[in-house]
Amino acid sequence: MNFVETSLEGVIVIEPKVFVDERGFFLETFRENELYNVGITENFVQHNHSHSSKNVLRGIHYQLTNPQGKLVRVASGSVFDVVVDVRKGSPTFGKWYGMVLDDKDMKMLYVPPGYGHAYIVLSDKTDFIYMCTEYYHPESEQGVLWNDPDIGIEWPSSNVILSEKDKQNPTLSNHRKLPAY
């Protein structure tokens, strides 16, 4: 695996070695010792799979207490994946990083605890897979408005399909519940 740092502290792009032949492909999607060597030392305790249609936007989510680190990837289809620094007091507070994750190059992204995470589906259908370093705690879940003008995420589409809950998320500047840096 190749590990590439991003503009946000601890957010790492993971480029796996994909072995392709006439039968198909093979890749390792998780190797604890290699993650540990680049500083990803949390234990992963929950594995999630989301299936979504084109233009579904999920996020921007984080957990205030019991923050989750996430190792995210796409098994089929493609998404534009976004990480937002929502840690109050961080030098990159309110900054974001985005990239396409798809089933072509099989890149993965590590999102450390304390960051907000979101994605929009670019293909007709997508299977999005992610492992979490903490269990889901619904009472701790928080959200930030997907199109917050102060964050300025450059989404590839404004024609989005949101959950009712995500439609109600406040902007970052109006948020009262943010993790401390």
- Look up residue 63 and give its amino acid: Q
What share of the chain has pLDDT > 70, as a percent? 100
The string of DSSP letters for the chain reads -EEEE-SSTT-EEEE---EEETTEEE--S--HHHHHHTT--PPP-EEEEEEEETTBEEEEEEESSSPPPEEEEEEESEEEEEEEE--BT-TTTT-EEEEEEETTT--EEEE-TTEEEEEEE-SSEEEEEEEESS---GGGEEE--TT-TTT----S-S--B--HHHHTPPPGGG-S---B-
Whether 130 sits among the annotated catalytic residues: the reply is yes
Question: Average pLDDT, stretch 136-161?
Answer: 96
| Residue found by looking up tokens 């995470």 in the block | 117
* Count of C-beta atoms within a 10 Å radius of residue 169: 22
Residue 117 predicted with pLDDT over 90: yes
pLDDT per position as a tens digit, 150-169: 999 999 999 999 999 999 99
Q: What is the pLDDT of residues 60-79, one digit of tens each?
A: 999 999 999 999 999 999 99
For 101-120, what is the mean pLDDT? 97
Q: Identify the structural domains of the chain with CATH numbers, from first to last.
A: 2-21+29-174 (2.60.120.10)
> Given this model, what pLDDT does residue 68 score?
97
β partners of residue 24: 21
| Residue among 51, 61, 62, 136 flagged as catalytic | 61
* Token output for 85: 């620094």
Query: What is the C-alpha separation between 103 and 126, in angstroms, rounded?
Result: 9
Residue-level pLDDT at 48? 98
Catalytic residue among 47, 130, 135, 175: 130
Return the pLDDT at 54: 98
What is the per-residue pLDDT for 177?
83
> Is 117 a residue of the active site?
no
Model pLDDT, residue 81? 98
Quick one: average pLDDT of 6-35? Answer: 96
CB crowding 87-108: b at 16 or more within 10 Å, else e = beebebebebbbbebbeeebbb
Residue 176 has pLDDT above 90, yes or no: no
Which amino acid would we find at residue 28? Answer: E
Whether the predicted model's global pTM rises above the 0.85 cut? yes
Give me the mean pLDDT over the 78-88 stretch: 97
Average pLDDT (124-130) is 98
